[in-house]
A and B are shown apart, each in its own frame.
Chain A
Amino acid sequence: MKLLSYITLILIGVACSSDKDNYVPIENEKLEFTVPANFPEPSYDITLNPPTQKGFELGKKLFYEGQLASDGVIACGFCHIQDFAFTHHTHIVSHGVGGALGTRNAQPLHNMAFMKEFTWDGAAIHLDLQPIIPITAEVEMNETFNNVIKKLEAQPEYVKLFAEAFEDQKINSDNMLKAISQFMIMMISANTKYDKIERNEGSVFTENEAAGFELFKSKCASCHQGTLFTDQTYRNNGLPVDLQYNDIGRKRVTGEETDIYKFKVPSLRNIELTFPYMHDGRFKTLDDVLNHYSDGMVDSETIDPILKNEDGSLGIPMTTQEKLLIIAFLKTLTDDDFVNDNRFSEF
């Protein structure tokens, strides 16, 4: 009788087994995604693409993989360099395959999980889709998804990594994009002096930094808002239009005349490292930026109303001393741990 029940159990097991059941899962640990105590909830739905050790590893390898480009060289990491909070900083506008010039300054990559839309004008509305732009754009990586997939399939290392990272074990665009996102959503920068003060971790502002913070709150934080230092809207901050590019900004995405020359309010985290500044990299230093805010603005149909003063003048009035204080504060937004974090480094 006992024997019979054993047989029964075995038979049940056999009857139900399919290829899927026979497959022994490889160790693929889930990674801890921790929202810093002073951060808002992420916009990225982590439950739909929970980062795992293998997925992250694969995403990182893809991020630094030249084969994602037609020339086998220009990886994501070529334009997004860790030392500069993942911007491309030797160049004003980005350089792609064959030295092709883009028209915009590469954005820093940090805290992507907390952003709702991507690029300077919001041309990508989900992080998983963002890489479609650089991979296929002629002036960036100039490649096709079919080719990329073929190139990856030819490398045993990738066959193995995809199989370990994803349940269906396949090399395809869905898994590729998910892996790259897993890498990017783990790139959280939240260990600046500013953060440590906000979280009461024992740091204190110097007198100058504290004065700069007060000035920042009254003059800048209406747009560079909250802990992410952006309200994630699109605005025109009064830059004179560069006729070489005539970049229409947000209008490219909405088609609306009222959106012309508006760009996404950028986060100011790691701002000390991410020069040159603005969507076209026109300013080399933070001094230049603050001089723009005080004296450099030009009027236009879409300039942000906040920047128009009651007496009809444009700009944010600041003394030289106040500018220095604001810059002192901005430098407390540099996260050395982040730019030195080995988890994100190529080697």
Chain B
Amino acid sequence: MKNIIILFAFLVVISCKNDDEGATKTFGNIELNFNNSIDNTPIVLEETSYTNKSNETYTISELKYIISNIVLIKANKEEFKYPVADSYFVINEAKSESKKITLNSIPEGEYTKIRFGFGVDQSKYPFESGTANFIPTAEENQMLWNWAAGYKFIKFEGMYTANGGSNTDFLIHVGSHGTTLDNYQEITLELPSALTIEKSKSPEIVINVDIAKIFDGINTLSLEQKNSIQVDPVYAPKVAENISTMFSTGVSN
């Protein structure tokens, strides 16, 4: 009789394993904190003037970008891919709540790296199921083009003056277009120290975003030379390249 009961208990466990693996794993949460800054000082929209390496002074009126496809990586290279359908976010400088992303149900363990996408990976079209549900969010944030079926990966706008000249608008909207212009960037960052995920703790990862790099990264971009960059096979990829260098991890405070 005892044997049968044990067998029975065993069967119950076995039979549930497939659809409910979670019962044996523990999960925790992570908070990603995007810190947009220039010269290590948080951005102030409209008010503060910044100067780029081309000696142009600018103010920022709008700063939004898309973060996607978040993956956490352990020292042994094991990856935890955050469910793709839930992995699209608009970071909007004007909305502080948008700069904090909470990732739920991360399997317990020690993670040493984070990888994410800037923009939306069009090479993966058709999207994995569910990802088109990002459309309304992108639309609310004006991150959709109105003439093409795709996303603006970044919307960066403001005014600048060069050489004491008059105030001029600048506008940088970069995305991927058709099958020829792919500006999606994948960014992998080392975490400052191994991050332990365990139940009932929500550690924070600070992602410092050096906005000055948009002008002065791998490439130096002068607004006098080009103050409106949209569908642009020459300048848009340069902006995207610069953007790929603007992220770094910081220590939470």
Q: Is the CB of B126 within 8 A of A133?
A: no
Bound Cα distance A314, B139 (Å): 46
Q: Is the CB of B136 within 8 A of A145?
A: yes
Contact with A along B1-33 (1 / 0, CB 8 A): 000100010011001100110000000000000
Bound Cα distance A253, B125 (Å): 17
Residue in B11, B16, B146 with the greatest tally of chain A CB atoms within 10 Å: B146
A12-B15, A138-B146 in contact; A173/B177 too (CB < 8 A)? no
Complex interface: stretch among B69-77, B111-119, B178-186: B178-186
Which residues of chain B are within 8 angstroms of A11 by Cβ–Cβ distance? 8, 12
- The answer to whether the Cβ of A227 comes within 8 Å of any Cβ in the partner chain is no
Contact with B along A95-133 (1 / 0, CB 8 A): 000000000000000000000011000111110111011
Known A-B contacts: A129-B125, A136-B139. Give 4 more (CB < 8 A).
A11-B12, A129-B132, A133-B148, A146-B140
Residue in A125, A145, A172, A252 with the greatest tally of chain B CB atoms within 10 Å: A125
> Which residue of chain A has the shortest Cβ distance to B7 in the bound complex?
A8
User: Would you give 25 A-B contacts (Cβ < 8 Å), ordered by A?
Assistant: A11-B8, A15-B12, A18-B19, A21-B19, A45-B126, A48-B129, A123-B147, A124-B148, A124-B149, A125-B122, A125-B179, A126-B125, A128-B132, A130-B149, A133-B147, A133-B148, A137-B147, A138-B146, A145-B135, A145-B139, A173-B133, A173-B135, A174-B132, A253-B181, A253-B231
> Which residue of chain A has the shortest Cβ distance to B13 in the bound complex?
A15
Q: Is the CB of B125 within 8 A of A125?
A: yes
> Which residue of chain B has the shortest Cβ distance to A140 in the bound complex?
B146
Smallest beta-carbon distance B233→chain A, Å: 4
- The answer to whether the Cβ of B150 comes within 8 Å of any Cβ in the partner chain is yes
Q: Is the CB of B8 within 8 A of A8?
A: yes
- The answer to whether the Cβ of A256 comes within 8 Å of any Cβ in the partner chain is yes
Interface residues on B, range: 35 or more
Within 8 A of A (CB), among B174-220: 177-181
Bound Cα distance A255, B12 (Å): 61
Q: Is the CB of A122 within 8 A of B178?
A: yes
Which residues of chain A are within 8 angstroms of B139 by Cβ–Cβ distance? 136, 144-146
Smallest beta-carbon distance B9→chain A, Å: 10
- The answer to whether the Cβ of B232 comes within 8 Å of any Cβ in the partner chain is yes
- The answer to whether the Cβ of B63 comes within 8 Å of any Cβ in the partner chain is no
Smallest beta-carbon distance A211→chain B, Å: 39
> Which residue of chain B has the shortest Cβ distance to A129 in the bound complex?
B149
Bound Cα distance A177, B129 (Å): 11
- The answer to whether the Cβ of A324 comes within 8 Å of any Cβ in the partner chain is no
Q: Is the CB of A15 within 8 A of B16?
A: yes
Within 8 A of B (CB), among A47-86: 48-49
- The answer to whether the Cβ of A16 comes within 8 Å of any Cβ in the partner chain is yes
- The answer to whether the Cβ of A38 comes within 8 Å of any Cβ in the partner chain is no
- The answer to whether the Cβ of A4 comes within 8 Å of any Cβ in the partner chain is yes
- The answer to whether the Cβ of A254 comes within 8 Å of any Cβ in the partner chain is yes
Smallest beta-carbon distance B222→chain A, Å: 19
Which residues of chain B are within 8 angstroms of A177 by Cβ–Cβ distance? 132
Within 8 A of B (CB), among A3-51: 4, 8, 11-12, 15-16, 18, 21, 45, 48-49
- The answer to whether the Cβ of A149 comes within 8 Å of any Cβ in the partner chain is yes
